[in-house]
Amino acid sequence: MPLSPLSRQHETKGLEHERLLEQSQGQQALDHAIAAVDSYLKAVEKGASGQEAATLRQKVAYLLELGETIKLNTKEAAAGSRPPELISTRVLSVPERAILLKSSKLHNLRFPPWGPQHTKMAAEGDQSDPYIDPTPFSLSAEQQVIFAGWKRPSELVPGVDDRDPEWMMKAENENDLAQDLATDCSVVASLCAAAPHFTTKKGSLLSSLMYPFDHATARPKAVKNGSYRFRMNFNGCWRSVVIDDRLPATTTDREKTGFLLWIILTSHSDDIELDQTWDRIKKAYDDGNAILTLGTGNIPPEEEKALGLVREHDYAVLDLQSDEISRSLLIKNPWVDSLVWTGVGSSATLKTHTVGSTPDHATNQFRMAFEDVLQHFDSLYVNWNPNLFKFRQDHHFKWDMPDATEEMVFTKNPQFSILSRSRSPIWVLLNRHWQDGELEILRERKAERDRHNASLAHVSKQLGFMSLSIFATSPPGTRLPLPESHRCLHQGPYVDSPNTLLRYDPIPNTPQTLIVAQGELPLPTYNFTLSFFSTSPLTISKAREPLAYSETITGAWTRRSSGGSAAHPSYFINPQYSITLPKTTPLSLLLSTDVKDLPVHIALIYSSSPTKRITSISGRDILVSSPEYQRGCTFCQTSASQRLEAGTYTVILSTFEPGQLGRFVLRVSTDVDGVVVMPVMSSQAGKLRTVFPELAVFKEGEERLRGRVGIGRLTRLSVVARAAAALGSTAPGGGGGGGGGGGLRMKLELGTGSGKRVLGVSKGGEFTQDVGVLGLDEGEVDVDPEMVRRMGGLWVVLEQIGGRGGGKGVQVEVYSDGVVNLEGAGGWEGVDED
């Protein structure tokens, strides 16, 4: 039952407050959330019922929770208990909320989205019995050798008064975190780089990440039962993660070299403008708004030793310095004992870590010039402070991976329209949600790597790649069918990380299209989150199709239906489809295949019947065509001023060479409903192909050539001809006239002289100078051998007008369901009109 006018009026007000809410922060955002709730409740009260009322109540419940989050964030930021947080105030749809809930389940565990109730629970702490996290935790082979069980901190450091556990949260001296037997260097490197931001009394990051937290001392509180709650951002949102304080004990005394419980528990590259990148990163780092780490690639062993850099390893950046002549980074290798940079300008300090000794604070640190960093490291990872921006929008979506036939086009790719009123840069963060299937792939690939001593890069590639790009489209902000370099405003790199960041300068007041792309993602379905950051409001929506209606056809080039380009007489055995338009409309055609290097082409021709195959073609017959043969996919459309009249058209899909095989998808898009797309059955597919052994060449003064066709039984056949001068052409209509450059026509005649009978003609019996490929208008004809004998033979006749002779000739082929003989007459003979 539709909403009453009064209910609709209140719903409209609620939608307007939603729009203003997603462009607001702080108290202003809270005011719009409350106003939207009030409007939706009034809409229900004034007559909404059934599904409409249920939808409005769902929005009210979500807005109330969002309002609580906004209020809590504003209150804590005002009190100075934690840094202000830029949150997405966009109202999520029901499917998006379902995505976040589904992504809560990971490896048989549940990590719910963080809500106000978690903040309250975390602040109060847990006073229950000692907590034991039931999660299984795997150890590497090296760790298992010295593993002595899981123990509480008081068990690891004997003699400590259990009634005062705060000692675990105090650093007695400057912290120096190092990787010993921890197997993930990225975690340790990240903690090294982020540690200075965790513990500062002014705006400590840790205050919003780890609970319970003592704001007076700017450090976490110790709890007797060993239960700690973390607020971690992954799989699309902040989530609640509860762990215990048990740590792996060893049979050695390595763990006794230092102790700080909270840091133990918390455990991309692009083409860049050098000066701009340095200035942006340096300022952000100095202001405390950026955390930096670095990653090496697959360095050859000889370079690894010579340079002092470990291959496929992550490093922490501890400082950035610059003066008038140099720019450098202070870098730390998180490994306890390892190689350090020995290149030009190195200031490496390496202190060997011995068992039982106190770690030196300069262990494995070195300074490297910014230019050397860009040369020797594959990746520079920058974690930016979201509070650099004023506005944020989060969008969550599910993506079913496309079939191999559509991997090279954008028909199934998520695409978003982004409109900004200013030129202020827009930052877009793409996050791929982790799921169980990826862990299984990692385990399998790691085992394979260990067996074959492959690189880590080989393992990471098995999880696939993803990328973000911005395009200018026509109309602006609409979906793009396939990659087009001339439309690309900014191309992001393909990365094997679950996160990638794109920064670009928008065109004010003109929507651009953001496209999410992937390569080799192995699982059938993924969940993603796109977060948009800006200093001015944005209008973001799913990009719409430029033409409203689409039909999709699947097919294949087989051994019987792969005729090659129009340079081959077999062109017409290619797949053909009739397109019947009920009204005048623009039209676009998108062709994609499962063979990435297969050259393909589209040609659209007017047709008199949806069941009649095209058997001859010239350049003038083609209404719309794609560029000359493109690999894997191609696209064509009517021009901005061109619209096709109602009627029937035929599209021919071809590969470059005959016999090239592959599956394809054809997408037909129009602005009218009711378009009918049907395959046109082939008259030549599956037939015997017989080629005249000689080209038909007109001599000076000759206007008529004929070649005999011999048959032994009742036969159904068709004939095609192609000017040899155009046999090297790759697109229809590439040929000139017949053998001597004049107009040409073809006939199939039974008998000779005045009693002959014409069984078929090309082009309605008219001469054509733009030969392309000629076929009989009649398509196939049935021929009786007894009739051929009585009439005096069956002939293919070529006639020219205006020719001078001396051309390169015409190639003729016969397709038949029985054996034919083209050699009986000894080749082509010139004859006068009889």
Q: Which residues are catalytic?
A: 185, 313, 333
Is-cis flag, bond preceding 95, omega within 30?
A: no
User: CB count, 10 Å around CB of 470?
Assistant: 22
User: In angstroms, rounded to a whole number, what is the distance separating the alpha carbons of residues 780 and 686?
Assistant: 13
- The residue written with tokens 């017409």 in the block is 572
User: In angstroms, rounded to a whole number, what is the distance separating the alpha carbons of residues 184 and 136?
Assistant: 17
User: In angstroms, rounded to a whole number, what is the distance separating the alpha carbons of residues 187 and 333?
Assistant: 12
562 contacts 597 by C-beta, under 8 angstroms: no
User: CA-based Rg of the chain, rounded to a whole angstrom?
Assistant: 36
158 contacts 251 by C-beta, under 8 angstroms: no
- Which of 813, 590, 773, 817 shows the shortest CA–CA distance to 682? 817
DSSP secondary structure string for all residues of 624-662: EEPSS-EESEEEEE--TT--BPSEEEEEEEEESSBT--E
244 contacts 116 by C-beta, under 8 angstroms: no
User: In angstroms, rounded to a whole number, what is the distance separating the alpha carbons of residues 219 and 266?
Assistant: 13
User: In angstroms, rounded to a whole number, what is the distance separating the alpha carbons of residues 479 and 642?
Assistant: 20
734 contacts 745 by C-beta, under 8 angstroms: no
User: In angstroms, rounded to a whole number, what is the distance separating the alpha carbons of residues 267 and 178?
Assistant: 12
Torsion sign across C-alpha atoms 778, 782, 787, 793: positive
User: In angstroms, rounded to a whole number, what is the distance separating the alpha carbons of residues 405 and 394?
Assistant: 31
- Which of 416, 388, 440, 375 shows the shortest CA–CA distance to 506? 416
Q: Which residues of 630-667 are buried (b: 16+ CB within 10 A; e: fewer)?
A: bebbbbbbbeeeeebeeebbbbbbbbbebebebbbbbb
Which ranges of 403-562 does DSSP label H, i.e. alpha helix? Answer: 436-452, 456-461
Torsion sign across C-alpha atoms 683, 686, 692, 695: positive
- The residue written with tokens 């010579």 in the block is 306
User: In angstroms, rounded to a whole number, what is the distance separating the alpha carbons of residues 762 and 776?
Assistant: 5
Residues in the chain: 834
- Which of 451, 375, 420, 412 shows the shortest CA–CA distance to 550? 412
What is residue 606's three-state secondary structure? strand
562 contacts 723 by C-beta, under 8 angstroms: no
Can you give the three-state secondary structure of 6-58, one letter per residue? HHHHHHHHHHHHHHHHCCCCHHHHHHHHHHHHHHHHHHHHCCCCHHHHHHHHH
Q: Tokens at residue 710, please?
A: 């011999």
